[in-house]
Structure 1
Amino acid sequence: MGELDADTAPALREDLAVLAARSTEGLLVLNLSGITFCDSAGLYTLLGIRQTLPLADIDVLFTGASAVLWAAADRAGLTAHLDLGDGP
């Protein structure tokens, strides 16, 4: 996955919107183990995913959150809101 920041977050949002529109499963599992950098735009994107997809009857499961993502979420006070699962 690489970096999740102001440059890459819009593409992720677009890709997930397409997946959500096509979803018949009602569950999106997003493996976050490959995130090597995450800024506030990336965190905001993940938070948006966490909050909006359930409104479309799509549950979200974040798995494998990288240590980098955990650190960014912790600094922002968002680990509980993002529900990243167990620590890295």
Structure 2
Amino acid sequence: MTEPTTLIPLSQARAGQRVRIHSLPQQPECRSRLAAMGIQISSELEVLRLGAPGGLLHLANGFLEFMLRRDVAHHMTVELLANASP
């Protein structure tokens, strides 16, 4: 039997964690910008760094690195996968 998936807002992920996207923000501008970078539901991201409290998240999807505002990240739900490094 598999354990239920725990979903959290992307804004709560910590540096070094890998996540899988389960939902995107509802704002069309945000969705289209993310889609232009290849970010979609089921994409896996690595949280590289966190800015000052309330600041930006530095994320990676393969070779693509990008910054995302925490208020946008708060509207994305993700599943924690594993830490990027042991």
TM-score (norm 2): 0.25
TM-score (norm 1): 0.24
Q: If each structure's strand is expressed as a fraction of its own residues, which one has the higher value?
A: 2
User: Higher RCO, 1 or 2 (CA under 8 Å, sep at least 6)?
Assistant: 2
